[in-house]
Amino acid sequence: MNNGPIADFSYRLKEIARDLSFLGHPRYPLDQLTKLFPQHQNFIVELEDVSVPFGVDVLAKRKAMDKFLTDLAHADLHPSMKRIFTKRVEDYHTLLSMMENFDNVFFYDHCIKLYGTSHPTTQNNSFLYFLEQIPQYCVPDESETTLKGEEARQYLKNRLLETFNDTDVDVRPSSSLLSDSSAGRKILKLNPHKSYSTQHLDIFLVHEGWAHLGTSLNGAAQTEHPWLGTWSPRTTFLQEGLAILTEIITGSMTHERWSKVILRHLATSMAERGSNIQDVYAFLRHHQMEELDAFKLALRVFRGVPLEGGMAFTKELLYLHGMIQLLYHMQFYQADLRSVWVGKLSFEEHILLMDNPKSLHTDLKYFPLGLEDPIVQVKLKKLQELAFSLFKHGFING
């Protein structure tokens, strides 16, 4: 396989992807939110209004993508690589359409193209049975130490340095997150106003740190295949599944955390089936979720769509859908965790790398040693076998 043009197209792809992470910086109808949730006014004022435009030149982006595809068609590249680059660019086109239709029904239509919908799984008995088996892998949160602010930030930074070089990672405070933490290319953000148990911080370590930061840093270190360091919506399916799976097999997943993961899925399904944002918020509060946490999760579910219900931001489904598909995928192809830690990749892209190990050689800069623990490997194998036995033709098609 000719690797020559791969780097050139990878860097062009990275430039196209620049500024397209707008989904992480959503806008909301703030006046409407204030009327519906006056008790959360202090948080609402930190959000961006839908009237604030996204800083992206859509026309220039589309022209750059069209030129990319034209040049790609004439490039001396293997058809498999051309297909990977083409599908990533198609995803970026869909993202731009979502941006142009933020806060209306067409946003939801495009969202489904990228992230799917809950409708096929809500009555899938195999899916429901699989979820019922996970609590046996969960642990109680028995940590006695609670940290906040700088202490929490420093604890998490020190744990990250057990795996990563100091120059490659940092933990910084952010009070506007819709979640308790999030990861960028090198930065892990943490809510400075919330208190966390050390066990809770360890969840961030393996989810945001080991999985998301780790694959970002490994992708950025790829010299022959820089495209592995570039985010694309199609990589989210594998990425979010990998992060949740890592929590479970490392013994980091608490019962409370698993309940929240399930509630996130149920809340998204409710919104798709017609529940409005107040219904979803009430549902989450009924299940003992704290007021602000329930509000933030409701905002995540209604990111980019009208608050009246009937649609949702379905990326929230990928934590569970992605985990099961990843387990099936690994069992079917007899793949190991190292092979999916090389960067930001989709399932199809992972297959291509496995099929061409010599011509598509990838390096692994970081891999958490905790994942090599025999107990972790046993848990992983059991879950792989369970997923494979339940979904005979793959989770997506099963």
**Which pLDDT band holds residue 1 (cuts at 50, 70, 90)?**
very low
Q: Which two tokens stand for residue 83?
A: 């297909």
Both tokens of 343, joined, read 């960067």
**Position 312 in a domain:** no
Residue 183 in any domain: the answer is yes
SS3 159: helix
| Residue 237: pLDDT over 70 | yes
Alpha helices in 226-276 (DSSP H): 233-249, 255-272
Q: Does 287 reside within a domain?
A: no
Tens of pLDDT, residues 21-74: 888 788 999 999 999 999 999 999 989 999 999 989 999 999 999 999 999 999
pLDDT computed for residue 359 by the predictor: 67
What pLDDT, on the 0 to 100 scale, is given for residue 290?
A: 93
> The tokens of 3 are what?
């690797």
The C-alpha angle with vertex 317 and arms to 50 and 349, in degrees rounded to 5, equals 105
pLDDT in tens, 74-101: 999 988 889 999 999 999 999 999 999 9
* Residue 118, in any domain of the structure: no
Which range of residues forms the domain containing residue 238?
A: 125-254+318-390
The verdict on residue 357 lying in a domain is: yes
pLDDT one-digit tens code per residue, 276-333: 999 999 999 999 999 999 999 999 999 999 999 999 999 999 999 999 999 999 999 9
Full DSSP string of 18-77: TT--GGGS-EE-HHHHHHH-GGGHHHHTTSEETTSPPS--HHHHHHHHHHHHHHHHTSS-
Which pTM value belongs to this model? 0.93
- Tally of structural domains, the chain: 1
User: According to the model, what pLDDT value does residue 178 have?
Assistant: 65
| Coil/strand/helix, residue 195 | strand
Nearest 10 degrees: Cα torsion 305, 309, 312, 317 = 160
Residue whose pair of structure tokens reads 């040049």 in the numeric block: 71
305 is a domain residue: no
**Would you state the structure tokens that stand for residue 139, as one six-digit string?**
């642990």
| Span 186-220, pLDDT tens digits | 888 888 888 899 999 999 999 999 999 999 999 99
pLDDT of residue 225: 87
Q: Which amino acid appears at position 164 of this protein?
A: F
Tokens of 91: 């995803």
| CB-CB contact of 87 with 293 (8 Å) | no
pLDDT classification of 3: cutoffs 50, 70, 90? low
- Alpha-carbon distance of 219 to 129, in angstroms, equals 35
Establish if 101 belongs to a structural domain: no
pLDDT at 396: 64
Contact between 304 and 102 under an 8 Å Cβ cutoff? The reply is: yes
The answer as to whether 280 is a domain residue is: no
> How far is the C-alpha of 333 from the C-alpha of 218, rounded, in Å?
22
